[in-house]
Structure 1
Amino acid sequence: MKNRVIAVVGPTAAGKSDLGVALARILGGEVINADSMQLYRGMDIGTAKLPPDERHGVPHHLLDIWDVTQAANVADYQRLARAEIDRLHAADRVPVLVGGSGLYVRAAIDPLEFPGTDAAVRARIEAELELRGPGALHARLAAVDPAAARAILPSNGRRIVRALEVVEITGRPFTANLPQVEAQQPVYDTVQIGLDIPRPLLDERIALRVDRMWGAGLVAEVRALEAVGLREGRTASRALGYQQVLAALAGECTEEQARADTVRATKRFARRQDSWFRRDGRVHWLTAQGEELTDRALTLLGEAVTA
């Protein structure tokens, strides 16, 4: 496993965190978070952040590093993740990248380059978003970069703004900065393990997870984060569960409606995650659960070493 990266990927509620810990314990590794929302301090319940007592002594990195007011920046994450991977390799430890944020995983292991930002351009497009709404901007994106428009939901104003900003700054389509997997030589020798959960079972897990989040105090967590700027955070405020609870706290819906909306939105998100990782032919999909899943993952890794 020397100088290799293991990536555990797949949709939310599939069991990535538990498998990542199990592999790290057996292989002498440490976990590097690749969930964009677990980067935020205080966002614990709604992101299903693994509690310390369930990490079984395995060090976890890139958790709780950003304030909720900070906008997500995948280029910053890329720099931090690669520094952790290089540090672990130098210490003869196995980096286990765990998370369902597909772009963040690829940023860590593939030679992606991310254009900078232009504050004036972004402010102008954000003002247009506020005035005209995401639908109008999505239509504009479809005209200049159809592939990006297909990949970004018409309601996702933040990503639409970023895509239009990149097009204007670079003069190239936003998707030109995400080359096809087949055309790339990865930065690290990586084995990607995808967790393949039947959709009905995954939907059950998601509903149960949301119920547990509410029972564990998600509403109180959101209230506390609102006091330190969550509502103003362009990225954190749109996280699943947090966006819905903020709406309930603002009187825009009931708490029960917020819970039901969270379940529906999470199911849709899980399908998009699955589709993203399915496009990457390097992912090895495993369907087992529990100890059998760990055993199969170890067999896969052993075969990769001898290949």
Structure 2
Amino acid sequence: MSEKKKLLILVGPTAIGKSALGVEIARRFNLEIISGDSMQVYQGMDIGTGKITEAEMNGVQHYMIDVMPPDSAFSVHDFQKHVDEIIDEFHEAGDVPFIVGGTGHYIRALIYGYEFNDEDDAEKRALTERLDALGSTILHNRLKNVDPKLAGEIHQNNRRRVIRALVKHELSNRISSREGPGYTDEMKYDTFIIGLTRDRKLIHESINNRVEKMFEMGLEEEVRALVQHRPLSKTAGAAIGYKEFIPYFEGHVSLNDVKETIKQHTRQYAKRQLTFFRNQLPVSWYDLDSVNTDSIFEDIYQFLHTKERKKND
């Protein structure tokens, strides 16, 4: 069995400081960051999602931020398809991909592959053979139709990548339409997941302070401009920090009611995040109240410079 390629991930509840620490890790280990946040893919949804600014990026390249207009649907399958391509590019270049984010089910979809049965494998082989018989221009035009952005990043003469992207797209659509698609128990990559936590009261305090700052930065104006410009997609419209404004715009609640509801929903979301990470992902936890970042850096160094670790290591 060939050695799995490495994948580094940083997770934790909202407002705990993932973005800042992610940049520090990326600069220290010469990495680039793939956002693992379901809402930061949307353009114009900046303040309410806590989106990292260009200044805060401090020169570190970030992917999967501002890639979709807010009136477009974007599912976990879409995320998986896009990020799988980015991860493949990193690995082909001999680099380690680094994901930073708090959307647990998006991250889980990346590191655990679908469990294909014999029928699925035969389907994949047949689809690949059928596509390989087509000309490069036809293949690239097909990719333009299903994913214009990705088509713009892949030269039409790179048949292997074009075919791989088309196969992934087709199989993803077929599998997602079936009942109960399952994930394998084994991770696709040699993965090290860093999880940040701290005392619940301090997490809540940080959340409350962040929401206050969002309002000072102009969250109301951001949301008003978004909903007036065009209707948000079902996914974007469900984002915490945005959906709470609708009754306010309709004159049913006060602005302070909106603020307190956002705080409450965000605290509830942070609790769900921690529950998901603890139950669904093999996370190595670091309590920021009792450990310093040096211990995190040391463990990352060991991960990056050792061969694939065994499952129970």
Same fold (TM over 0.5): yes
> Compared with structure 1, are the counterparts of its residues 22 and 110 closer, same or farther at alpha carbon in structure 2 (3 Å cutoff)?
same
Q: Distance in 1 between matches of 2:52 and 2:114?
A: 29
Q: Distance in 2 between matches of 1:39 and 1:102?
A: 15
> Compared with structure 1, are the counterparts of its residues 254 and 80 closer, same or farther at alpha carbon in structure 2 (3 Å cutoff)?
same
Match of 1:202 in 2: 203
Deviation at 1:218, TM superposition (A): 0.3
Q: Distance in 2 between matches of 1:286 and 1:32?
A: 21
Indicate if the aligned counterparts of 1:9 and 1:194 stay in contact, CA closer than 8 A.
Answer: yes
Match of 2:188 in 1: 187
Deviation at 1:259, TM superposition (A): 0.3
4+ aligned runs moved over 6 Å, structure 1: none
Deviation at 1:235, TM superposition (A): 1.1
Match of 1:23 in 2: 25
Residue pairs, 1:30-41, within 5 angstroms: 30-41=32-43
Secondary structure of 2:263's partner? Answer: helix
Match of 1:219 in 2: 220
Q: Distance in 1 between matches of 2:182 and 2:220?
A: 37
Matched AA of 2:249: L
TM-score normalised by structure 1 residue count: 0.74
Q: Distance in 2 between matches of 1:178 and 1:199?
A: 33
Residue pairs, 1:42-53, within 5 angstroms: 42-53=44-55
Q: Which runs of 5+ in 2 are unaligned?
A: 117-173
Q: Which runs of 5+ in 1 are unaligned?
A: 115-165
Match of 1:303 in 2: 302
Deviation at 1:291, TM superposition (A): 9.8
Deviations 1:224-257 (A, max 9, x none): 1112324x42111111110112321121211110
Q: Distance in 2 between matches of 1:177 and 1:254?
A: 44
Deviations 1:180-216 (A, max 9, x none): xxx5221221100000121000000000000000000
Matched AA of 1:196: T
Matched AA of 2:81: R
Identity %: 36
Moved more, 43-52 or 81-90: 81-90
> Compared with structure 1, are the counterparts of its residues 53 and 75 closer, same or farther at alpha carbon in structure 2 (3 Å cutoff)?
same
Match of 1:54 in 2: 56
Secondary structure of 2:23's partner? Answer: helix
Matched AA of 1:235: T
> Compared with structure 1, are the counterparts of its residues 291 and 283 closer, same or farther at alpha carbon in structure 2 (3 Å cutoff)?
closer
Equivalent pairs counted in the alignment come to 245
Indicate if the aligned counterparts of 2:8 and 2:98 stay in contact, CA closer than 8 A.
Answer: yes
Secondary structure of 1:8's partner? Answer: strand
Matched AA of 1:298: F
Match of 1:277 in 2: 277
Indicate if the aligned counterparts of 2:40 and 2:65 stay in contact, CA closer than 8 A.
Answer: yes
Q: Distance in 2 between matches of 1:7 and 1:169?
A: 29
Secondary structure of 2:302's partner? Answer: helix
Match of 1:239 in 2: 239
Q: Distance in 2 between matches of 1:105 and 1:204?
A: 26
Match of 1:134 in 2: none
Match of 1:69 in 2: 71
Indicate if the aligned counterparts of 1:106 and 1:112 stay in contact, CA closer than 8 A.
Answer: no
Matched AA of 2:236: A
TM-score normalised by structure 2 residue count: 0.73
> Compared with structure 1, are the counterparts of its residues 169 and 83 closer, same or farther at alpha carbon in structure 2 (3 Å cutoff)?
closer
> Compared with structure 1, are the counterparts of its residues 289 and 97 closer, same or farther at alpha carbon in structure 2 (3 Å cutoff)?
farther
Secondary structure of 2:9's partner? Answer: strand
> Compared with structure 1, are the counterparts of its residues 76 and 178 closer, same or farther at alpha carbon in structure 2 (3 Å cutoff)?
same
Match of 1:11 in 2: 13
Deviations 1:100-140 (A, max 9, x none): 101111112210379xxxxxxxxxxxxxxxxxxxxxxxxxx
Secondary structure of 2:186's partner? Answer: coil
Match of 2:256 in 1: 256
Q: Distance in 2 between matches of 1:178 and 1:267?
A: 30
Q: Distance in 2 between matches of 1:237 and 1:252?
A: 18
Deviations 1:35-65 (A, max 9, x none): 0000100000000001000111000001011
RMSD: 2.4
Of the two, which has the highest radius of gyration?
Answer: 2
Matched AA of 1:219: E
